[in-house]
Amino acid sequence: MARIAVIGAGMGALAAAARLAVAGHRVVVYERAATYGGAVGVLERDGFVFDTGPGLLRVPAVYRDLFVKTGKEPLEKCVDLVQVDPASRHVFADGTEVSLPNASRAGVVSALGTALGAGAGERWGELLVRAREAWDRTRRPLLEEPLWPNWQVLAEREPYPTVRQRRLLRTRTATTLAEVGAWELGDPRLAALLESHALAYGLDPRVTPAAATVLPYMEHAFGTWYVRGGMRELARAVYERCLARRVDFHFDAAVERIVEKDGRATGVELADGTVADADFVVAGVAPGVLDRLTSGTAIRGGGEVPPQRGLPSRLTVHLALRGGRPDGVAHRTVVHAADRERELHRLFGERPGRTASTGPGFPASPTVTVLRPGDPALVPDDDHEAVTLSVTVPPGLEPAEDDVQGVLSAAERAIPGLRDRLLWHEVRTPADIAEATGTDGGAVPAPALAAAGGRLLHPSNSTRLPGLFTVGGWAHPGGGLPHAGMSGALVAGLIVEGPDFQGSR
């Protein structure tokens, strides 16, 4: 039985802790905050409850596997997991609207054809077929296996089979998500639908590789799910599974240093000077925090995937509304920007190869995601509604009140009369995310993607310091609830089975 110190109680760290404990190891988790869950937080006020992190779950099989492997009770016995239908509603710049059924390619094709015109649904369906090929090529190395030592193969190969386009005497193929949208979909609304999947993760579709088509594919193939009571209930269930497996938790316990001896991680030193010995250390923290904890030790080096830095953050506005949620309202509505190019310029700067005229700032007329759960557990009574608005913004941005009002104005396209119903709102800024997670500027990690020279891969779970492993959104396979859960499985496999571990089955 090994002694394992886990730094942080985010979802990836909790998943690793539960799996390691059931394998017979003594696991102790040290969390600097007063509670578990990391980015999966909660805001409660006046009988209203809001998720401050992810509001929906994709690929629930990751957490089903975790519960099967760590105890007798399956996931559905521990949380009330329900499919969201429709999966999403989209309000485009020209006023066109469409609701997309959950986990139904045929239904999505039909809905898009009806809303956007003949051929639109078929083009989207054909894109999903190609995206599935990219998914099949990258699923195991990007989700289920430790990062390959020869990760350059993933970096160099574009897994998406782009359609060759004839233009005059030239043949061209799309290399970015924006080009896929423009050249293969042929409708700016379909292009906006495609690009919104990247934008939700803080990715610039103008430079994000075509491999990112796996993002909408995952949603269509595995569905969109909600946990009644809010996504915080999923964090609670994983935490309680850890307790059942006798994982020991220390909250308000900041780790100041990873202790090393004879070139190996041998424990952690807490803020009060206490040293806890360990045979292995699992760090579920952001790159900047890990740098501080391992000051003077190069845990990453040449030839390895470097940590991602400077990623965008999110602005979240929580709304307490008078009046109940109307019947038939979509759980999630995406209100698309009136001017996508201007939005991307404000978010990411000028297109590569051009001179930037201004630095990144708050996106003009931003794309806004509106979540309306319709969950009685989130409101004081049936005569009120809890709504969450979210916008991708540059890291470290401090929004002005005009920016928040702009988000509310955009949301009114999805919720007519919103301001007349508004009791109060609370704003969660990148600074709030930075405080909760320790990330620089409140940056939010994106899922790992192939191609793009490896720019969108994340560092391996093992490090150059023997005995030290990394877990969570800032390590392979990257951000998002499914990916965090998979990182926990990978770290547990590497510790239990050793360096010969070939991946989850």
Backbone angles phi, psi at 121, to 5 degrees: -65, -40
Is the pLDDT at 308 greater than 50? The verdict is: yes
Burial zone of 77 (CB within 10 Å; 0-12 exposed, 13-18 middle, 19+ buried): exposed
3-state SS of the chain: helix, strand, coil percent to 5? 35, 20, 45
- Judge contact between 318 and 426, C-beta under 8 A: yes
* pLDDT for position 358: 54
pLDDT band at 114 (very low <50, low <70, confident <90, very high): very high
Joined tokens for residue 100: 């997309």
Lowest mean pLDDT among 54-58, 295-299, 470-474: 295-299
Please give the mean pLDDT across all residues of the chain.
94
Q: Give the predicted TM-score (pTM) of the model.
A: 0.95
In this predicted structure, the answer to whether residue 289 has a pLDDT above a threshold of 80 is: yes
Q: How far apart are CA 132 and CA 248, in angstroms?
A: 41
**Residues sharing a CB contact under 8 Å with residue 357, sequence separation 6 or more, in sequence order:** 350
- Confidence class for position 354, pLDDT limits 50, 70, 90: very low
* pLDDT at site 301: 80
Report yes or no: 283 and 470 within 8 Å, Cβ to Cβ.
Answer: yes
Instruction: Give the model's pLDDT for residue 309.
Output: 85
The 10s digit of each residue's pLDDT in 461-492 is: 999 999 999 999 999 999 999 999 999 999 99
Burial pattern 196-231, b for ≥16 Cβ within 10 A else e, equals: bbbbbbbbbbbbbbbbbbbbbbbbbbbbbbbbebbb
Which whole number is the average pLDDT over 93-116?
A: 95
Quick one: pLDDT at residue 310? Answer: 86
- Cβ contacts of 328 within 8 Å, gap of 6 or more: none
SS3 15: helix
In the numeric block, the tokens 């202790």 are attached to: 259
Q: Which DSSP string corresponds to 203-251?
A: --TTTSBGGGGHHHHHHHHH-EEEETT-THHHHHHHHHHHHHTT-EEES
| Span 407-424, pLDDT tens digits | 999 999 999 999 999 999
Residues 6+ apart with CB under 8 A from 18: 66, 70, 238, 241, 242, 245, 247, 488
Q: What are 36's two structure tokens?
A: 């578990």
Lowest mean pLDDT among 38-47, 310-319, 348-357, 444-453: 348-357
Q: What is the DSSP string of 373-392?
A: ---GGGSSSTTEEEEEEEEE
Measured in whole angstroms, the distance separating CA 396 from the mean position of its chain's CA atoms is 18
Mean per-residue pLDDT for 54-75?
Answer: 96
Per-residue pLDDT tens for 185-211?
A: 989 999 999 999 999 999 999 999 999
Q: How far apart are CA 486 and CA 476, in angstroms?
A: 9
> For residue 330, what pLDDT is reported?
97
Helix (H, G, I), strand (E, B) or coil at 176: strand
CA 479 to mean position of chain CA atoms: 4
Give the CATH fold of the 3-45+57-82+228-308+445-497 domain: FAD/NAD(P)-binding domain (3.50.50)
181, 187, 189, 193 alpha-carbon torsion, rounded to 10°: -30
Burial, 164: exposed, middle or buried (Cβ in 10 Å; 0-12, 13-18, 19+)? exposed
Between the alpha carbon of residue 2 and those of residues 81, 239, 258, 284, the distances in Å are: 34, 21, 17, 19
What is the greatest pairwise CA distance in the chain? 71
Mean pLDDT of 258-264: 96
- What's the whole-number mean pLDDT along residues 88-107? 95
Q: How far apart are CA 362 and CA 304, in angstroms?
A: 34
- Examine the pLDDT at 67 and tell me if it is beyond 70: yes
Task: Determine the angle formed by the axes of helices 11-22 and 481-497, rounding to 10 degrees.
Answer: 30
The domains of the chain are located at 3-45+57-82+228-308+445-497, 106-222, 309-444
Q: What is the mean pLDDT of residues 143-151?
A: 94
pLDDT in tens, 423-440: 999 999 999 999 988 899
